[in-house]
Amino acid sequence: MSTAEDRGAAAEETLSEDEYRDRLRDLPPSAKLVAKVLETDSPLSQGQLAEESLLPDRTVRYALNRLEDVGLVGSRYSFRDARKQ
C-alpha cells in the first residue's frame, strides 16, 4: 500500500488539509502513525511500514485497512513480487 503516489494523484488533489485531518481525527493511533510515516516516506510495502513504524505486521494491516476505508491510501500489487501489496 502506498499514499504518496496513489493519494497524491487521487486524494490530495480533492482533499484539503482540513478534510485530510478530519478523516484522520477519528482513526486509531496506529492508523495516524502509519499515515505520518507514509507522508514522509512513500510508497512503502506493508513490511517496510511495519519496520519504519515499529508496529507489528497485523497492526499495520489493520491501520492500512482503516486508512483505505476513509479514502486516504490506496493499494497496488508489486510487479516484482505479486504476494506483496
46-84 pLDDT tens trace: 899 999 999 999 999 999 999 999 988 887 776 776 666
* Any domain includes 44: yes
* Any domain includes 21: yes
Q: Which of these, 77, 78, 71, 76, lies nearest to 10 by C-alpha position?
A: 71
DSSP string, 12-35: HHH--HHHHHHHHHTS-HHHHHHH
Q: Which residue has cell 482513526?
A: 27
Q: Is the torsion defined by CA of 36, 37, 39, 44 positive or negative?
A: negative
Which domain does 57 fall in, by range? 17-70
Domain count along the chain: 1
pLDDT of res. 85: 55
* Any domain includes 76: no
pLDDT of res. 52: 93
pLDDT of res. 15: 78
* Any domain includes 5: no
* Any domain includes 2: no
* Any domain includes 66: yes
- pTM recorded for the entire structure: 0.73
* Any domain includes 10: no
